[in-house]
Chains A and B, each alone.
Chain A
Amino acid sequence: TQLLEQSPQFLSIQEGENLTVYCNSSSVFSSLQWYRQEPGEGPVLLVTVVTGGEVKKLKRLTFQFGDARKDSSLHITAAQPGDTGLYLCAGAGWVGGNTPLVFGKGTRLSVIA
């Protein structure tokens, strides 16, 4: 079973601070996705990273896929209250090519104005 560990589980910061969320596994993934979920809604895709070492930027969000394709990070610069939500990483595995996405347990971010 492929597992994704996210850390920290909870994060509360002041507006304007920077933060990094981590997603780690002992398994190799063919790709990894980051979603954000707001209360009462389903997760919404932020980015997909595919190549080991890949870095993608989405405004103030920077996503990195580890060289070995086992881990990923999400860095937010100058966090704003609108960034508040649950951040989930989800991996697509190599083994059993049609297995569904495996989700981490999420990082619940609260940005205080």
Chain B
Amino acid sequence: GEEVAQTPKHLVRGEGQKAKLYCAPIKGHSYVFWYQQVLKNEFKFLISFQNENVFDETGMPKERFSAKCLPNSPCSLEIQATKLEDSAVYFCASSQRTRPRGGYTFGSGTRLTVV
């Protein structure tokens, strides 16, 4: 499709529970990026993929966060044992290149609330 589809739109988890977020990139886009937006402003880079391979994971908290992009499946971001500070909007973006002049195409985000 021509849009990045993120599901679910909202997710509520109790502290300590697992959260799993999904992203279907635009068909033909090789790169997928996950960003975390906290306090409605700051975008923090988490991880990027080139097809199904991790491209850059310098922003990923190693302990509880994991992500995958498998062939013929939506990409996923999983948080084990969620903490209150994980509450944020998680955005997925895709592009044909790592730094395209046409910009990243973002999904509408998944709002995770940890209670």
Contacts and interface: CB of A to CB of B under 8 A. Distances in A.
Interface of A: 9, 30-31, 33, 35, 40-45, 48, 50, 86, 88, 90, 92, 97-103, 105-106, 108
From B43, B56, B101, name the one whose CB has the most chain A CB atoms within 10 angstroms.
Answer: B43
Interface stretch (B12-20, B72-80, B91-99): B91-99
B39 to A, nearest CB: 9
B109 A42 contact: yes
B99 A30 contact: yes
Interface residues of B, number: 23
Contacts of B91: 42-43
Given A42-B91, A98-B56, A88 B108 contact: no
A48 B104 contact: no
Nearest to A40: B108
Interface string B27-57: 0000001010000111101001000000110
A111 B103 CA distance: 26
14 contacts: A42-B91, A42-B93, A42-B108, A42-B109, A86-B40, A98-B98, A100-B56, A100-B98, A101-B33, A101-B99, A102-B45, A103-B35, A105-B42, A108-B41
A47 to B, nearest CB: 9
B106 interface: yes
Interface in B60-115: 91, 93, 98-99, 101-104, 106-109
Contacts of B41: 9, 86, 105-106, 108
From B45, B55, B107, name the one whose CB has the most chain A CB atoms within 10 angstroms.
Answer: B45
Contact of A45 (B45, B56, B104): B104
B42 A43 contact: no
A88 B98 contact: no
